[in-house]
Amino acid sequence: PHSRARVVPDKTSGLVVAPEDTASELHPLLQLPKSLRRGYALLPPLLKVLSDRGPRNWESEAPRLQPDSRALRYMKRLYKMFATKEGVPKANKSHLYNTVRLFTPCSECKHRHRDLMKGDFHSVDLLFNLDRVTALEHLLKSVLLYSFDTSLPISSSITCMCHLSVKEHDFSSQVCPSISRSIAFSLHFEVRKRKWVKIDVTSFLQPLIATNRRNIHMAVNFTCLMGDPQNTKLEYPINMAPVPPSLLLYLNDTSEQAYHRWNSLRHIRKNPVRPRQRNSPRVDPLGDKGKENPQGKRASRRR
Amino acid sequence: RDESLKEAPAIPPSNLSDYFKQFLFPQNECELHNFRLSFSQLKWDKWIIAPHRYSPQYCKGDCPRVVGHRYGSPVHTMVQNIIYEKLDSSVPKPSCVPAEYNPLSVLTIEPDGSIVYKEYEDMIATKCTCR
């Protein structure tokens, strides 16, 4: 908003929306009337391209950064778990999220300290940029996803000590120290064919993501030993460097275009035959807006 | 009804069952039609990873005059048809449109290289109606 030429990412959809006066110099689509443009900016990327005049606009889009191959493999696996071959979401009532975002760290600086006694001590500084998360996407769960590319014997048991700290740059104070909150926990798991380990960091990251933090800066220290945790004599360090973790966010997208499974379940129960009314209020399972109070319903029925 | 009687041929048709069939199963009546596309045809497979094929389906066909029971249409549809036939033919006849949909799960690569799994509402037509 300060400089004329600068464009500001729109908080609701993460799309770039130019201030009034520079719109005409930018993308032809931004010359749409304001009302149309506001609606247009709200569209998630897939619907934005479907509403474009033609694929040429989309092909002129800046080339995308290629995702990490391991992350891609994991998300394809997740897709197969959640959707049928035709792409229809499986009627899985257990989860309320309709969006899962995977972020790979955009920058990392490794400080490797070798300490033979305790195994390969591996600390990584990670920065995740969450610009793509829109204001209408509410966080339900966040997970650090590790993939171990090791040639460890299958079904070996591993115990890892993980130390996680988040660096928040506090701009309010003059000195602006980087306050870091940290958490330490141990992790014990068996390495089977599947080499994914998920660490739930929901409560740890919730305050940051809830305040619409766009960048999350964290340091992760990892020490792993293989063998029986009860009998330390049998334990020996593993010379393995876990690949820097990805950050998985499970979100509930409350926008009109997103699929709200509890709504369709509620709809089927209520009026099984008639086609769904489009303007029914979206019920947010976590909030109580849009819910009628039972007395009100009974009273109206009695009337 | 009286009109259809006037139109009825004086001489009974040779094959009565064929004659009545046209009333029981009118040709190209409003119904759901199959349509499958792959995102590679649209050259979007660089950023839409899954599904590979997508069947949005569509509704096409004529809306019969008495649509009440068969399509779950509101009474307004018949009123609109009568207006079209008897009062003002510039008012459009009822159209054959989707009445119910299925959602679609899509896996896409975002411009910043992150990957998103999203479930979109109303992406596959599953039922047609006349409105």
User: Does B79 have pLDDT greater than 80?
Assistant: yes
Residue A147 contacts residue A243 (beta carbons within 8 Å): yes
Contact B103 A259 (CB under 8 A): yes
Tell me, rounded to whole angstroms, the distance of Cα A160 from its chain centroid. Answer: 24
Q: From the CB of residue A19, how many other CB atoms can be counted at a distance below 10 Å?
A: 14
pLDDT of residue A107: 59
What are the pLDDT digits (tens) for B105-117?
999 999 989 999 9
Residue to test with chain A: of B109, B115, B129, most A Cβ within 10 A: B115
A58 contacts in chain B (CB < 8 Å)? 44
What is the count of residue pairs from A and B with beta carbons less than 8 Å apart? Answer: 127
Cα separation, A64 vs A91, whole angstroms: 32
Q: How far apart are CA A161 and CA A185, in angstroms?
A: 6
Assign B33 a pLDDT band (cuts: 50, 70, 90). very high
Instruction: Tell me if A86 and B53 make a contact (CB, 8 A cut-off).
Output: yes
Tell me the two tokens of residue A44: 């998630």
Closest CA to B130 of B70, B47, B89: B70
Give the pair of three-digit tokens for residue B75: 């009474």
pLDDT-wise least confident of A101-105, A141-145, B16-20, B91-95: B16-20
Q: Is B103 close to A88, i.e. CB distance below 8 A?
A: yes
A chain contacts of residue B117, beta-carbon cutoff 8 Å? 75, 78-79, 82, 99-101
**Is A70's Cβ below 8 Å from some Cβ in B?**
no
Rounded to an integer, what distance in angstroms lies between the CA atom of residue A122 and that of residue A126? 13
Beta strands in A170-235 (DSSP E): 178-191, 196-200, 215-226
Contacts within 8 Å (CB) and 24+ apart, B52-55 = B53/A86, B53/A87, B54/A87, B54/B104, B54/B123, B54/B124, B55/A86, B55/B124
Distance CA A32, CA A23 (A): 9
Give mean pLDDT in consecutive 10-residue pieces for chain A, a chain of 303 residues.
Answer: 40 42 44 50 57 45 71 93 91 81 74 42 79 90 80 64 73 50 69 72 82 80 69 53 82 92 57 45 42 48 48
What pLDDT, on the 0 to 100 scale, is given for residue A111?
Answer: 46
| A145 close to A74: Cβ distance less than 8 angstroms | yes
Q: Is B108–A65 a contact, with Cβ atoms under 8 angstroms apart?
A: no
Is A81 part of the contact surface with chain B (CB cutoff 8 Å)?
no
Cβ distance B48 to A76 less than 8 Å, yes or no, reads: no
Inform me whether the pLDDT recorded for B57 exceeds 70: yes
Residue of B43, B114, B121, B127 best to disrupt the A interface, most CBs of A under 10 A: B114
Taking an 8 Å cut-off on Cβ atoms, the answer to whether A259 and B121 are in contact is yes
| Interface contact B43-A87, CB threshold 8 A | no
Give the strands of the sheet with A137-147, arranged side by side.
A196-200, A137-147, A246-253, A99-103, B115-130, B96-109, B48-50
Beta strands in chain A (DSSP E): 8-9, 16-17, 99-103, 107-115, 119-129, 137-147, 156-169, 178-191, 196-200, 215-226, 236-237, 246-253
Task: Answer whether B103 sits within 8 Å of A62, measured CB to CB.
Answer: no
Q: Decide which of A210 and B104 is more confident.
A: B104
State the pLDDT at residue A115. 41
Tell me how many degrees the CA angle B86-B88-B89 measures, rounded to the nearest 5: 90
Q: Residue B1: is its pLDDT beyond 50?
A: yes
Q: Do B105 and A72 touch (CB under 8 A)?
A: no
At residue B45 the predicted structure's pLDDT band, cuts being 50, 70 and 90, is: confident
Question: Distance from A183 to chain B by nearest Cα, in Å?
Answer: 26
Nearest chain A residue (CA) to B38: A86
Judged by CB atoms closer than 8 Å, whether chains meet at B104 and A88 is answered as yes
Chain A hits for B50, CB-CB cut-off 8 Å, are 76, 79, 83, 87
